[in-house]
Amino acid sequence: MEVALAGLIGVFFAVAVYLLLSRSIIRMLLGVVVLGNAVNLMIFTVGRLTVEIPPIVPAGDYLPLEGSANPLPQALILTAIVIGFALFAFLLVLGYRAYQELDADNTDTMRLAEPPEAPRPPLSY
């Protein structure tokens, strides 16, 4: 199961990088969401996937049973989901406002701060 999830995580990271390198603001926002989901899935997989042994500490012991799932990554993922949703909502409103002001979704046409006759930045150093 971990091998299948590792492959899925790799696909998520590849899709996220592809979307983040796009020139469209909406695609960039979707890339941020997919990247966040890939990281959450990776943390969840690292925390061991098991359904046989619950992460409960027996009475009189100080450690959970051997081979049980770690509950800390699950708690971290729940927090990351809430933060990721808030970040996506903020970026979506920011992108919508930029679209209203500049009437463009392409990042190349959003260069109002740069004068049109200014020299272009170097392509390599």
| Residue 39 pLDDT exceeds 80 | yes
Number of domains in the chain: 1
| Residue 70 pLDDT exceeds 90 | no
Give the separation between CA 35 and CA 89, rounded to whole angstroms. Answer: 15
User: pLDDT over 70 for what percent of the chain?
Assistant: 94
Q: Does residue 33 belong to any structural domain of this protein?
A: yes
Q: Does residue 19 belong to any structural domain of this protein?
A: yes
Q: Does residue 62 belong to any structural domain of this protein?
A: no
* Domain residue limits at 81: 2-53+67-109
| Residue 24 pLDDT exceeds 80 | yes
pTM score, whole prediction: 0.75
DSSP 108: G
Average pLDDT score over the chain? 86
Q: Does residue 121 belong to any structural domain of this protein?
A: no
Q: Does residue 125 belong to any structural domain of this protein?
A: no
Q: Does residue 16 belong to any structural domain of this protein?
A: yes
- pLDDT, residue 111, reads 73
Residue 105 vs residue 90, higher pLDDT: 90
Give the separation between CA 26 and CA 49, rounded to whole angstroms. Answer: 34
Q: Does residue 20 belong to any structural domain of this protein?
A: yes
- Residue pointed to by tokens 């919508």: 96
| Residue 113 pLDDT exceeds 70 | no
| Residue 57 pLDDT exceeds 90 | no
Q: Does residue 74 belong to any structural domain of this protein?
A: yes
Residue 47's CATH number: 1.10.287.3510
Beta bridge partners of 24: 106
Q: Are 33 and 58 in contact (CB under 8 A)?
A: no
Nearest to 47 by CA among 83, 74, 66: 74
Mean pLDDT, residues 47-71: 76
- The band of 3, judged by pLDDT with boundaries at 50, 70 and 90, is confident
Q: 9-18, 19-28, 44-53, 104-113: which has the highest mean pLDDT?
A: 9-18
Q: Is 48 helix (H, G, I), strand (E, B) or coil?
A: coil
